[in-house]
Structures are given as C-alpha cells and as structure tokens.
Amino acid sequence: MRKLLDGIYDVSGLISALLIAGICLLVTTQVMLNLITKTGLTDMNLTIPSYADFAGYMLAASSFLALAYTLVRGGHIRVNLVLRVLPAKLRLAAEVVAHMLGAGVAGYATFYMYRLTLESYEFGDMSSGIVAIPLYIPQSTLLTGLVVLTVAMIDLTVQIIRSGEPVGVEQMNTE
Amino acid sequence: MSDIVTIILLFVTLLVLLGAGVWVAFSLMLTGALGMLLLSNAPIGPILATTFWGHSTSWALAALPMFILMGEILLRSRLSQDMFTGLSPWLKRLPGRLLHVNIFGCAIFAAVSGSSAATAATIGKMSVPELTERGYPTNMVLGTLAGSATLGLLIPPSIILIVYGVATEQSIARLFVAGVLPGLMLVALFASYVIIYALLNPSRIPQDDDDDMPFLDKLRATGRLIPVLLLIAGVIGSIYIGIASPTDAAAVGVVLSVLLSWANKSLSWSMLRDSLMGATVTSCMIAFILVGAAFLSVSMGFTGIPRHLAAWIADMGLSPYALLAALTVLFVVLGCFLDGISVVVLTTSIIMPMILEAGIDPLWFGIYLVIVVEMSQITPPVGFNLFVIQGLTGIDILRIAMAALPFFLLLLLAVALITLFPGIATYLPSLMDG
C-alpha cells in the first residue's frame, strides 16, 4: 500500500515535470517558427495552431498533477512559527486538525471539479481556439490532480494519527 | 451581521488558520468560502471549481515554471564560481573591495533567477567563505549578502512580479521593465553604502597583498561571465523591445541555459532532472497559492468587502502618501510572518480596489509592493534570506538580521525615493507604448 501510494505521487510529479519540459519545447519551437517567418524564407505565417491555449492547458495540468508530489515533499507553504513553539501534544492536535482541514478542502474541490468536468462532457463544451478540443479533456487532468491530492492529504492524516507524531516533512519553504 | 464585524471575523479566521499551520492555499480558500457563506448566496463549490479552471490555464502564467527552471539550471551550473572569479579582479579597485562581489554577484544572479533565497544561497556559497577567510568584517559580509539577495525579487525576471501581474491582470512585460531602474537604483544605493563604510573604516577592509593579475588573466576570468550576461541581456532585451512575450523569453532562456551549462561541462542528466523536479515543486506551490488567492478575490468580490474598505479609506480622506505609509507598516508586519508571495496575493485580493480608488498606478504599486516585500525578507522572525544565510553559515538569525539592518533602511529609502519620484519605475514602461 505504502509503495503504491508513493508510486502514485511520484508518477504524477514526473508527469508534471515532463509537461513543463513540454511547454518549453512547444514555446521554443514557436519562437523558432516566428524567426523563420521574419527572415522571409517562406511566405507562410508559421504558427502552431492554438499553441498558447495548449501551453495554458499543459501548465494547469502540470500545476495540479504536482499537488500531491509537492505536498509530500513539504513544498507547499505553511506558517510553522506557532507550531514550532507548541508543546508536543498540542502540536500534534494542531497538525491533525490542519491535515483534516486540508483533506476536507481538497475533497470538496475534487467533488466540484468532477461536476464541472462532467458538465463540460455532457454539454460538449469545446475550447475556443483554432483547434477546438473538448474542454473535459484538460479539465480531467485538474480533476486527477485533485483526486491524488485528496488521497495524499488523507494518507498524511492517517500517518500522523497512527504514529502519534508529525510526519517527518519539516516544512522548508523554497520561496 | 454588520459588515465591520464580518470583516474582523474573516481576518481573524484567516490569521488563526495560518497560525495553526494550515497551508496558505487552503487557508485562503477556507476564508473565501466563509466570506461567501456569511455575506452572499452564491454557490461556493461551483465557483471554486470554475476559479481553479479559469486561473490555472493562463498563457502569461506559463512564464513562471520556465523562469524558475532557468534559475534552477543556472544555479546548478558553475555560475557561482565564475561569478566570484569574474567579478573580483575589477571590483577590488572600489573602496570596500570584495564586499562589492556580493552586491554585483547578487544583482547579476537576480537577473537570471526570480528568487531571492536562491540568489542568497548561490552567491553566498562562494562569497561567504572567501570573504571571511580574507578577513572582511563578518557583519558586512552577511549584511551585503542578505540585503543584495533581495534584488532577486525585483530585477527581472521576477517570480513575484509574475504573480502580481497574473493576480492583478497587469502586463508582466511592463512590470518587468518597470523593475529595471529601481533594481539598478538599489544596486547603486547598496554599493554607495559599502563605499562610505569603507572610507570611514579603512582599517576594517583587508588590503590583500596578492599581486595584481595581469590584464589578460582578468579578461579571461571575466570571459566566463560573458555568456551569462548575454543571456540576461537577451531575455530582458527581447521583452523590452517587444519581440518576445515573457513566456517566449522564458522558454528560450531555459534552452539557452541548458546550452550554457553544456558548454561549461556542468550539464548532466541528474542535474537536469533535479532542476526540473525542483522547478515543478516550486511552481506548483506558487500556482496553488495563486488559485487559492483567486478564489478569495472572487469571493471577496461577492461579499463587497474590498469596495467597502476602499470607500471607507476614501471617506477618511487620506492622502495617497498617508495611505502608502500605513500600507508599508502593514506589509512589513505581515511580512514578518508570511512569505512574500502570500503577502502579494492577499494584497491583491483585498487591497487593490483601495489602491485604484486612491488613484495609485497599479504598475507602480507592483514595484512598490515588491520593494516592501524585499524588506520583509530580511526581518525576523520569518525572513527567508535570513534562514538561507543561517543555513549557509550557522550564524544566529538575529545576528544576521542586525547585520542586514542598514540594508533594510536602504530599502526603506528606496521606497521613499520611488514614492517621491514615481518615474523611476514608470518611465521605462512608458517608452514601450510607442
């Protein structure tokens, strides 16, 4: 079970990273095409259709799929100023409450993202660019990310309650 | 329930959530949801979902992960060594000598990286041991490093300006360009301070005896810096001239920084993977806070609180100067407990209507906000630069904060200067219109 969960977080993190690399390649390619157009070697205006839309969808997918990966690595910012000075028992209680709240919000957001995605699917909503794609496709990447985040939040909550001490991720901000 | 009670209740809720260690993004969402619950009949869940979707897919925001990635790659290349060897032969001639390496090194690195913590870590890793070994006063070594590293926030490409631009729908290109002159002004202020210090305390600045390098060697040492300088000029220049959007420039910047690290033989698969994963985590963290803040903004719009606050401020008849003075105090206090990005997104959710009401230019305000956030980076108890330097040197955070105090005051001076002469920030972007 442990291995499976960690595996899921790692894989979604890896996909996020590849998406960022993908955005880089996509945008760089378009910049190259712009340069070629400027040189006048071709009369055509070389543009990857809807590339800005696709970059946006890839960005959203990357941001949401990395949520759980970032969480378990302590990458999400939280204020631990108060927590650090609390006595151990109180700190544990605060940690449990914070994690349960996080799991609650993540679950709530997941549910409504599911409804949004389902609506887009049922109404057949399409993106507005030159290349129109069904909106439920990029939306379901956000949904997937939120599902994994919810699982990770619950996972961390259970770990804390079981072990009776805050999980070993000492929050270090990377700002 | 009367408005003022609700406002206080919401503010207290936010502070309690943040204080209890609830993640910043979740705290923003919970506070927004509570506000909507109390003051409107709008459906919370569907609005949350549409806000997530609408605010995570922006083309402008795509610049964020790529600029972070560019910084991560250059951070892992041999940049910090090159910076020291390339800068020191020239800066030795200024009063204060190698202390200026911290300032100019940070300024250059700030231009390739958007983060002040990364700037402090990269430059400090090299300069702190070198300078301490040569007998430079510890206070000045730490102070110049802590102070100058905050330039990472202001000198473009700046992560925090991207966040501000996306949150307030300002042009990121114009914000970047607006950050250039204030950034250079800060470099000049910091360098002048070191020069004055050195002239007043000549005995504290070691006059190391190592014979002057031949001119050609100097050039050779600096030569390694030239590719990085070209990269910076290319990235900022192309945005300024308008041939590339920040997102375009960021993507090309990543490719060029990979080529650069390949050329200086620091490129490897593991280095590339670490950079990419690091960038993924950082940009995910920021994106999550951004959607949380976007939801808070939307919900505040439903509650009407920002409008009321703006009207309230207008009724008080505060001059813009008095308003800015009050806000500066508020931000410095907030910045003692929150990181810079959280301060910026909170501001934009709640304070923006007030700023517009007071007739303050949002472009200028972005630059002002970033300098104030820079100040908060070097104030205890939560100053990220202080933590980074503590991690680097093992010196107590309060002592580092004391060493950084003069630079805090210089930042305050900079805030006063751009308030009196707003053109420092707005002149360059105004040229872009033509």
**Is the CB of B248 less than 8 angstroms away from the CB of A27?**
yes
Residue of B nearest to A119 (CA): B46
Angle formed at CA B206 by CA B204 and CA B211, multiple of 5 degrees: 165
Tens digits of per-residue pLDDT, B139-156? 888 888 888 888 878 888
Tens digits of per-residue pLDDT, B271-286? 999 999 999 998 898 8
Number of C-beta neighbours around residue B268 at 10 A: 12
Q: B61 near A59, Cβ under 8 Å?
A: yes
> Alpha carbon A84 to chain centroid distance?
28
Given A79, A83, A139, which is nearest B53 (Cβ)? A139
Q: B115 near B388, Cβ under 8 Å?
A: no
Q: Check CB contact of B271 with chain A, cutoff 8 Å.
A: no
Instruction: Give the model's confidence band at B83: pLDDT under 50 very low, under 70 low, under 90 confident, else very high.
Output: confident
What is the pTM (predicted TM-score) of this model? Answer: 0.87
With beta carbons under 8 A apart, name residues in chain A contacting B255: 24, 28
Distance in angstroms (rounded) separating the CA atoms of residues A124 and B108: 50
Q: Which residues pair with A126 in a beta bridge?
A: A134
Long-range pairs, B35-40, Cβ under 8 A, ≥24: B35/B6, B35/B10, B35/B296, B35/B299, B35/B300, B35/B302, B35/B303, B35/B305, B36/B299, B36/B302, B36/B303, B38/B1, B38/B6, B38/B9, B38/B10, B38/B303, B39/B6, B39/B302, B39/B303, B39/B304, B39/B305, B40/B299, B40/B302, B40/B303
**Is the CB of B23 less than 8 angstroms away from the CB of A78?**
yes
Distance in angstroms (rounded) separating the CA atoms of residues B398 and B352: 34
* C-alpha distance from residue B246 to each of A122, B73, B206, B295 (Å): 37, 18, 43, 25
pLDDT at B242 over 80: no
CB burial class (10 A; 0-12, 13-18, 19+) of residue B6? middle
CB contact residues (below 8 A), chain B span 360-389, against chain A: 381-382, 384
pLDDT at B203 over 80: no
First to last CA, chain A: 33
The three-state DSSP-derived secondary structure of A125-148 is: CECCCCCCCECHHHHHHHHHHHHH
pLDDT at A169 over 50: no
CB contact residues (below 8 A), chain B span 227-266, against chain A: 244, 247-248, 250-252, 254-255
Q: Check CB contact of B340 with chain A, cutoff 8 Å.
A: yes
In sign, the C-alpha dihedral spanning A119, A122, A128, A129 is: positive
Given B59, B276, B291, which is nearest A52 (Cβ)? B59
Q: Check CB contact of A112 with chain B, cutoff 8 Å.
A: yes
**Is the CB of A94 less than 8 angstroms away from the CB of B21?**
yes
Q: Check CB contact of A47 with chain B, cutoff 8 Å.
A: no
- Domain of A133? 2-174
Tens digits of per-residue pLDDT, A73-120? 988 888 777 787 888 888 889 999 999 999 999 999 999 999 999 999
Looking at the complex, report in whole angstroms how far the Cα of residue B322 sits from the nearest Cα belonging to chain A: 30
Q: Check CB contact of B312 with chain A, cutoff 8 Å.
A: no
First to last CA, chain B: 51
> What's the mean pLDDT in B299-310?
83
Q: How many domains does chain A have?
A: 1
Please state the ipTM of this predicted complex.
Answer: 0.92
With beta carbons under 8 A apart, name residues in chain A contacting B248: 27, 30-31
pLDDT at A167 over 60: no
> Alpha carbon B206 to chain centroid distance?
32
Given A17, A57, A79, which is nearest B280 (Cβ)? A17
